[in-house]
């Protein structure tokens, strides 16, 4: 029982980081109707940048987020403007392939620049942890969770309580109607892409402290992100967060009780079991032609 609870705590903490990464992807999907297949490598790009900032100028990874989030926002927006805008909205699959290819290109650049040995960002407090009522809480994971929750809250506030957020939600619901009502859909899409990639930037910076990474870990991370997206229901931000925490907990519990080898697989089994009954995911709505 102790082991199970300990694993659940660890799972929830890491689930927060997945949630941040995946809700960025959900935001991009909602507005542009395309799945960002490069979301995982963008997180790893951010992890590498955070690594460089830490090793070269000693910037704390949590502080590097302040630099990386605006940079990744510009990067994401730029990708939309330069690469995705010219593809027609109806060809979401083409945009998906473009992003996938772009991700592989970014991996090539990272593999070239940093070599392929796995790295981990290790600040002084990397190995310390608190013990509360007999349960270990690693400091890094706790702060990572807090950061993820803070960024998610910021995204929530932007989405629900600002004019920009209203435009984002309108475009998610119906791009054509939003355009008729005066929303600049292209601009909103670029901003959504920027926000989504910025979320990957924030998640990546702390991800690099929690899990050792190299360019090739993008597939592992991508597989998790995509499973979360499908389980949560693609465009649903709330569903995505729930799915991410489920993934974190299932993974961590299976790793602790059965074997770490099967942890990722266990979640995929859960995913397919859910899909048998709800093809649109836990919280998704059926969209004609899209899902």
Partner 1 sequence: MTRFRPAGGIQALAFVVVLAVLPLLFGQHWVVSLLVFTVMYAGLAGSWNLLGGYAGYPALGHGAFFGIGAYAMTIGTTHLGVGGGYRPFLLVVPIAVGTAVVVLPIARLLLRTRAVAFAVLSITVMFMVQTLAYNIRGLTGGSQGIAVPLAPFAADTFERPFYYAMAVLLAVTVAVCWVVRTSKLGLALNAVRDDEDRARGLGVQTELVKLVAFSVSAGLTAAFGAVWAYYISYVFPGFAIDPLLSLGAILMAFLGGRRTLWGPVIGAALIVPAQQYFAYRYGASHLYLVAYAALFLLVIYLLPDGVIPSIVHRITRLRSSHRARARKDQILMEPALTPGERG
Q: Contact residues for partner 1 (CB under 8 A)?
A: 29, 33-35, 83, 86, 88, 90-94, 96-98, 100-109, 111-112, 116, 215, 219, 222-223, 226-227, 229-230, 234, 261-262, 264-265, 268, 271-272, 275-276, 279, 288-291
By beta-carbon proximity to partner 1, the closer residue of 139 and 275 is 275
144 contacts 209 by C-beta, under 8 angstroms: yes
Q: Is the dihedral of CA 216, 221, 225, 230 positive or negative?
A: positive
By beta-carbon proximity to partner 1, the closer residue of 61 and 233 is 233
Coil vs helix vs strand at 279:
coil
CA nearest 238: which of 192, 284, 276? 284
Least distance in angstroms from the C-beta of 40 to partner 1: 12
Residue 250 neighbours by CB distance under 10 Å:
22
Least distance in angstroms from the C-beta of 145 to partner 1: 25
By beta-carbon proximity to partner 1, the closer residue of 130 and 262 is 262
Least distance in angstroms from the C-beta of 247 to partner 1: 12
By beta-carbon proximity to partner 1, the closer residue of 65 and 230 is 230
Least distance in angstroms from the C-beta of 164 to partner 1: 25
φ/ψ region of 218 (left if φ > 0, alpha if ψ in -120 to 50, else beta) reads alpha
Least distance in angstroms from the C-beta of 156 to partner 1: 24
55 contacts 238 by C-beta, under 8 angstroms: no
Q: Tokens in use for 119?
A: 């790295």
By beta-carbon proximity to partner 1, the closer residue of 151 and 193 is 193
Distance of CA 198 to the CA centre of its chain: 10
């Amino acid at each position: 029982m102790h082991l199970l609870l300990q694993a659940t705590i660890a799972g929830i903490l890491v689930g927060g980081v997945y949630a941040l990464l995946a809700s960025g992807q959900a935001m991009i999907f909602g507005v542009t109707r395309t799945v960002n297949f490069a979301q995982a490598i963008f997180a790893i790009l951010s992890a590498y940048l955070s690594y460089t900032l830490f090793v070269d100028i000693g910037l704390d990874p949590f502080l590097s987020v302040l630099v990386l989030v605006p940079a990744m926002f510009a990067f994401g927006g730029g990708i939309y403007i330069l690469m995705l805008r010219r593809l027609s909205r109806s060809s979401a699959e083409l945009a998906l392939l473009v992003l996938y290819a772009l991700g592989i290109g970014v991996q090539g650049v990272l593999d070239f620049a940093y070599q392929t040995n796995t790295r981990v960002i290790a600040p002084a407090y990397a190995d310390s942890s608190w013990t509360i009522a007999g349960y270990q809480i690693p400091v890094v994971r706790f702060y990572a969770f807090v950061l993820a929750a803070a960024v998610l809250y910021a995204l929530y506030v932007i989405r629900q309580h600002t004019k920009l957020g209203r435009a984002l939600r309108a475009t998610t619901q119906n791009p054509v109607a939003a355009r008729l009502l005066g929303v600049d859909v292209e601009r909103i899409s670029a901003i959504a892409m920027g926000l989504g990639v910025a979320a990957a930037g924030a998640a990546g910076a702390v991800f690099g402290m929690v899990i050792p990474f190299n360019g090739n870990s993008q597939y592992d991370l991508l597989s998790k992100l995509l499973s979360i997206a499908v389980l949560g229901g693609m465009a649903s931000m709330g569903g995505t967060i729930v799915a991410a925490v489920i993934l974190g907990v299932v993974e961590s519990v299976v790793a602790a009780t059965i074997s770490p080898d099967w942890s990722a697989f266990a979640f995929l089994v859960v995913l397919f079991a859910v899909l048998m009954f709800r093809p649109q995911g836990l919280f998704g709505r059926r969209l004609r032609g899209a899902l």
